[in-house]
Chain A
């Protein structure tokens, strides 16, 4: 009557559990996983197509120095993590291919204040460390 259920359950006991012990073992991400974007400052021309394409208006174009410790400034994108959907449309639409996908999705991205969530071009280009790079 219910014997097949019991047999299946007993057979299941011998199989190993499929639980992932987070956070001791981090979760495995696929190769195409879309995390925080990486900016290549040498290719970006500041056209603003990424800002127009973003469905949530999370990208703003701001002035930023072109390298660490440089005086010259150009226009670069700044992404608001609180609004970003991680859809990847900005990466696809960039005419010069300056944006690509990184793999960060929690480390360094979870902040208390909104102004820390605005990922400046320095953070996007990974010139400063994401976890420690706050102004305060």
Chain B
């Protein structure tokens, strides 16, 4: 990209340190005046070597490591890992544990989408929206804190169940928080729809077509905003999603406005799922009967084999491919994160737009660079 710069072109780096990025990556832009002519992404600034670390830790210790792939949605990452190991061990958690896991993962989805909406509004200049979203998010994180004991890296799931039961008073508190959240989401949506400046900045900006998205392997709200109704909770249900009634939210426009709208609708669907779960949750044990697996995990020798398990992360499809050789440590864990393909869709979208749109488009992808680099 550096060869043959015309006289009125220049290269700037939206570099590893930038107020607008959710994590460090380097975006090289070749500008002609204010228009982007060429773009290029470099990753790797926050690579931690998680896949190599996992080869040297036992499966139980691996739960605390997998927590830290994307620290905002730690419970979904744990679910992917624990799901893989449970498939290899051929055990299944009882119904109550499955419902508790679904409740916590939907709460995680709500707080991640709130943060994504707030950050996007901040990138286009609407700073107060970030604070409004964070204020709502605090209540949701407080709920998760009440159950797991930590706000961010929980290490709450165990093989065959969960570590602790739901505390007393959880159901009433959750329902009151969710009722308040429903009104606030309606307020946010009205603010976005009636604000003329916001519509000018987002409608028609960064249009991604369905074919391009499918070719690149993009998934999650970015794909659903182009009109493709692909959601792993419906296509390959895991846990108790086949007993729950919810719909897949799609929009057809594929621009920034549609992506934010999909996230707002998904928050509403998650609230509906949570209300159903709190009604339907059965009493029962947290761990399977007649099994050594409990809150205290026994010495594990996982049978040799290979397995692939995928879950619906708030950012897309997350999958883990695990190879075990019969000992108490995995032989190889390959993690497929959802944000890496979405980031590859960014350079073709921003060619031809101005620098101001770069912030808008990359903010609407709602990424966590820590997950792209692992």
Q: Which residues of A contact B (CB under 8 A)?
A: 1-5, 8-9, 12, 18, 30-34, 53-55, 85-89, 92-93, 95, 101
Contact A93 B296, beta carbon cutoff 8 Å: yes
Question: Given the known A-B contacts A32-B164, A95-B296, are A4 and B138 also in contact in the complex, defined by CB atoms under 8 Å?
Answer: no
- Which A residues are CB-close (under 8 A) to B150? 33-34, 86
B195 within 8 A of A: yes
Q: How far is it, in angstroms, between the C-alpha of A8 and the C-alpha of B195 when the chains are bound? A: 12
Q: List 14 A-B contacts (CB under 8 A).
A: A1-B194, A1-B197, A4-B190, A5-B195, A8-B132, A9-B128, A18-B138, A30-B142, A30-B146, A30-B149, A85-B64, A93-B60, A93-B296, A95-B296
B65 within 8 A of A: yes
Q: Which residue of A lies closest to B53 (CB)?
A: A55
Main secondary structure of the interface of A (DSSP, over half): loop
Main secondary structure of the interface of B (DSSP, over half): helix
Q: Which residues of B contact A (CB under 8 A)?
A: 57, 60-61, 64-65, 128, 132, 135, 138, 142, 145-150, 153, 155, 158, 163-164, 167, 187, 190-191, 194-197, 295-297
Question: Given the known A-B contacts A32-B146, A32-B148, are A89 and B60 also in contact in the complex, defined by CB atoms under 8 Å?
Answer: yes
Q: How far is it, in angstroms, between the C-alpha of A19 and the C-alpha of B95 when the chains are bound? A: 40
What's the count of A-B pairs with C-beta under 8 Å? 68
Cross-interface CB contact of A88 among B155, B296, B297, cutoff 8 Å: B155
- Which B residues are CB-close (under 8 A) to A93? 60, 296-297
Contact B195 A32, beta carbon cutoff 8 Å: no
Q: Which residue of A lies closest to B135 (CB)?
A: A18
How distant is B58 from chain A, measured CB to nearest CB, in Å?
8
Cross-interface CB contact of B149 among A2, A9, A34, A53, cutoff 8 Å: A34
- Which A residues are CB-close (under 8 A) to B196? 1-2
- Which B residues are CB-close (under 8 A) to A95? 296
Known: A8-B132, A92-B295. 15 other contacts (CB 8 A): A4-B190, A4-B195, A5-B191, A12-B132, A30-B145, A32-B146, A32-B147, A32-B164, A34-B150, A55-B64, A85-B64, A87-B153, A88-B155, A89-B64, A93-B297
Q: How far is it, in angstroms, between the C-alpha of A92 and the C-alpha of B187 when the chains are bound? A: 44
Contact B64 A87, beta carbon cutoff 8 Å: yes
Nearest first, the 7 closest Cβ-Cβ pairs linking A and B are: A32-B149, A55-B61, A87-B155, A1-B196, A87-B64, A30-B145, A55-B64
How distant is A17 from chain B, measured CB to nearest CB, in Å?
10
- Which B residues are CB-close (under 8 A) to A2? 195-197
Q: How far is it, in angstroms, between the C-alpha of A112 and the C-alpha of B148 when the chains are bound? A: 31
Contact B148 A4, beta carbon cutoff 8 Å: no
- Which A residues are CB-close (under 8 A) to B147? 32
